[in-house]
């Protein structure tokens, strides 16, 4: 099989209708914050047990087509000793891996951010692929203010995402391209729309320059939404319409699937917004989810680090998977939040 065929085959599997991606790639510092919220120590075993709870939830393959791992999790095992990657493959779920090494300040800017990790990336990708990973994720972030993001930050991060994507594709690994326009701030929906359109235009210009195969990528953008401290919050319908409008202006139809991040929204908000976007179809791409906290939060709060709570926590996870699956098909309704949903 050629590399091009391998990339397209992987993307087609992940882009299966009615399914999305579970982002279980929280860094050590992020998972510690999540565990702090339930007064649980972030030990390696507790992290393994929590990922085991999520990944062995009955019916996960009905709603999830891919899981993004943190490096530690890629090599961990279920309670019965099966590698998580092997277990997921048995459920028809594709394993993936976060490959960026976190945010740093972008030189000569006002504390704007870029992402590190390109050095040694080909060698790391070869190791991750041997361990079962078939796709990767790299995140760049953009702060919004009246003057941010700067043109320098937009250009630098677009170039970085394209270089990462090109390296992934040479290894036969599908790149998730994640340009996250942050929700933090008092910016309006209109300001977010302007910034996001510029960011996505620059990203796709750089992807073309680096000859990245668009049919072999997954786009993971943020939704166009009012800043979290904005006095006037946009309605869910306004969020959906603005997001789809910008995607139509910027994302080529060759891109097979767009899997949104939740970016600080509540589980219910991120599900509703996704559903309303799909109700605006037909659209040239699959629109689905790649959520972390928005999928996991109810199950984490139910689990509380106690083995006795695992079955109930898995039911909470089943419910969020099922509702987001429905949203990815434009078949969700807010009344479904009140019912018990099982696999």
**Where in the sequence numbering do the catalytic residues fall?**
178, 220
CA–CA distance, 75 with 48 (Å, rounded to integer)? 10
Helix (H, G, I), strand (E, B) or coil at 246: helix
Distance between CA 28 and CA 13 in Å, rounded? 29
Instruction: Quote the CA–CA distance of 313 and 57 in Å, as a whole number.
Output: 9
Half-sphere exposure of 293 (CA within 13 A, CB side): 14
> For residues 24 and 292, is the Cβ–Cβ distance under 8 A?
yes
In sequence order, the 6+-apart residues with CB closer than 8 A to the CB of 132 are 74, 83, 85, 86, 89, 95
**Which DSSP string do the residues of 143-169 spell out, in sequence order?**
--SSS-S-HHHHHHHHHHHHHHHHHHH
A 10 A CB-CB count for 96 gives 33
Q: CA 229 from chain center: how many Å? A: 23
Respond yes or no on whether the N-terminal peptide bond of residue 282 is cis (omega within 30° of 0): yes
Q: Does an H or E element contain 287, and which?
A: strand 286-291
Token pair of 306 as six digits: 């106690």
């Amino acid at each position: 099989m050629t590399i091009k065929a391998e990339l397209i085959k992987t993307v087609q599997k992940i882009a299966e209708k009615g399914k999305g991606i579970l982002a279980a790639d929280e860094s050590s510092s992020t998972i510690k914050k999540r565990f702090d919220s339930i007064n649980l120590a972030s030990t390696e075993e507790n992290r393994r047990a929590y990922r085991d709870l999520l990944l062995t939830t009955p019916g996960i393959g009905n709603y999830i087509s891919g899981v993004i791992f943190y490096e530690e999790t890629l090599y961990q095992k279920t309670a019965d000793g099966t590698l998580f990657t092997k277990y997921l493959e048995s459920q028809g779920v594709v394993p993936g891996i976060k490959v960026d090494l976190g945010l740093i300040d972008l030189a000569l800017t006002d504390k704007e951010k870029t992402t590190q990790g390109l050095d040694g990336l080909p060698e790391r990708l070869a190791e991750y692929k041997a361990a079962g990973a078939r796709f990767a994720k790299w995140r760049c972030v953009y702060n919004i203010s009246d003057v941010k993001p700067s043109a320098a930050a937009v250009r630098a991060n677009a170039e970085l995402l394209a270089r990462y994507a090109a390296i992934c594709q040479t290894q036969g690994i599908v790149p998730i391209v994640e340009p996250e326009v942050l929700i933090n701030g008092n910016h309006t929906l209109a300001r977010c729309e302007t910034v996001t359109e510029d960011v996505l235009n620059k990203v796709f210009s750089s992807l073309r320059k680096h000859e990245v195969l668009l049919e072999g990528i997954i786009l993971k953008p943020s939704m166009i939404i009012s800043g979290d401290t904005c006095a006037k919050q946009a309605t869910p319908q306004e969020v959906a319409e603005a997001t789809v409008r910008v995607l139509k202006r910027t994302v080529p139809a060759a891109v097979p699937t767009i899997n949104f991040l939740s970016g600080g929204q509540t589980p219910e908000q991120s599900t509703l917004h996704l559903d309303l976007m799909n109700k605006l179809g037909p659209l040239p791409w699959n629109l689905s989810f790649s959520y972390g906290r928005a999928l996991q939060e109810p199950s984490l709060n139910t689990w509380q680090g106690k083995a006795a709570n695992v079955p109930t926590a898995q039911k909470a996870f089943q419910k969020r998977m099922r509702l987001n699956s429905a949203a990815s098909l434009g078949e969700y309704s807010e009344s479904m939040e009140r019912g018990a949903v099982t696999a």
